[in-house]
Amino acid sequence: MWPEQLVVKHGGSSKINCSTSCLQPTISGLETTLSKTLLDKQPQWELYEVFNVSTDTVVYCHFTCSGRQVQRNASITVFYPPEQVLLKLQPTWVTVGKVFTMECRVPAVAPLENLTLTLFRGQEPLHMQKFEGETAAPQEAMITHNSTAHKEDGRHNFSCRAELDLKTRGGGLIRKTSEPQVLEIHEPMPDNQMVIIIAVVSVLLLLFVASVLLCFVFGQQWHQRRSGNYGVQAAWRRLRRSYRA
């Protein structure tokens, strides 16, 4: 029977070959609960295709040769590939030296025990996690990883890669990578620059206060001079009226 192990995407189909060394087999066939079609047939082999595979199952090939029945079986594993790989950075804006979180999520994937998630900064792997679980139903896989922000992080893309390794089950390696995410890095201001800024702001504030005070003093002096001139003119008018009288 070939192949002896099959991996089929949920709802998919696969071909199965049954063959025998018996020169004149009298009875042959493929036993399965799946929908099947006989594609081709020769005295010593038969080629079938099974359809709508939705659950893990076992199929059987059998031949009868000289009154003796020979049977072989093949296991079929249903898989759900990682269709979506979603990466989130929290927060997306971070100061150098502070901690940020990477969260990677893969909805509806199976078998979970064959899945590996890896977080990347550029081409550098930061964190990798394998999963456990023997259920055939699709499940959500998620990992989180805390990392300290560095100055050079702003020059790299962050990503998450999902790998579903089905080689031990007769399949291949399925990979899916998330959309790249960018982390905005903020560099803290050096202490000497902060001192300079505080000094400049203080000087500007003092100059502003001084200008307000000077405006107030000059305004008072101008008002007093105006008031003095009006007093002299009034006294002169009173003196002229007295002289005429």
The CATH number covering residue 50 comes to: 2.60.40.10
| Domain identity same for 26 and 116 | no
**Band of the pLDDT at 37, cuts 50, 70, 90?**
very high
Q: Which of 78-82, 128-132, 234-238 has the lowest mean pLDDT?
A: 234-238
**Band of the pLDDT at 188, cuts 50, 70, 90?**
confident
Which pLDDT score is estimated for 238? Answer: 60
Closest CA to 106 of 81, 73, 127: 81
In a domain? residue 222: no
| Domain identity same for 53 and 75 | yes
Q: Which of 59-63, 146-150, 181-185, 216-220 has the lowest mean pLDDT?
A: 216-220
In a domain? residue 138: yes
In a domain? residue 162: yes
Q: From start to end of 80-191, where are the E strands?
A: 86-90, 93-95, 99-109, 115-121, 124-130, 139-148, 157-165, 173-177, 181-182, 184-186
In a domain? residue 16: yes
In a domain? residue 21: yes
| Domain identity same for 47 and 99 | no
Which pLDDT score is estimated for 196? Answer: 65
Which pLDDT score is estimated for 113? Answer: 92
Assess whether pLDDT exceeds 70 at residue 18: yes
| Domain identity same for 42 and 100 | no
**Band of the pLDDT at 22, cuts 50, 70, 90?**
confident
| Domain identity same for 45 and 110 | no
Structural domain total, the chain: 2
Q: Cα–Cα distances in Å, from 26 out to 59, 67, 79? A: 20, 8, 36
Last residue of a domain, one of 135, 159, 186: 186
Last residue of a domain, one of 79, 103, 123: 79
Range of the domain at 45: 5-79
Assess whether pLDDT exceeds 90 at residue 46: yes
What is the reported pTM?
A: 0.72
| Domain identity same for 51 and 137 | no
Mean per-residue pLDDT of the chain = 86
127, 119 contact by CB (below 8 A)? yes
Q: Which of 80-84, 125-129, 154-158, 201-205 has the lowest mean pLDDT?
A: 201-205
| Domain identity same for 51 and 114 | no
| Domain identity same for 68 and 104 | no
Give me the residues paired with residue 49 across strands: 15, 37
In a domain? residue 117: yes
| Domain identity same for 57 and 100 | no
**Band of the pLDDT at 24, cuts 50, 70, 90?**
confident
Assess whether pLDDT exceeds 90 at residue 223: no
| Domain identity same for 164 and 118 | yes
Assess whether pLDDT exceeds 90 at residue 157: yes
**Band of the pLDDT at 176, cuts 50, 70, 90?**
very high
Q: Which of 37-41, 94-98, 195-199, 222-226 has the lowest mean pLDDT?
A: 222-226
In a domain? residue 43: yes
> Left (φ > 0), alpha (ψ -120 to 50) or beta: where does 133 sit?
left
| Domain identity same for 10 and 35 | yes
In a domain? residue 28: yes
| Domain identity same for 148 and 95 | yes
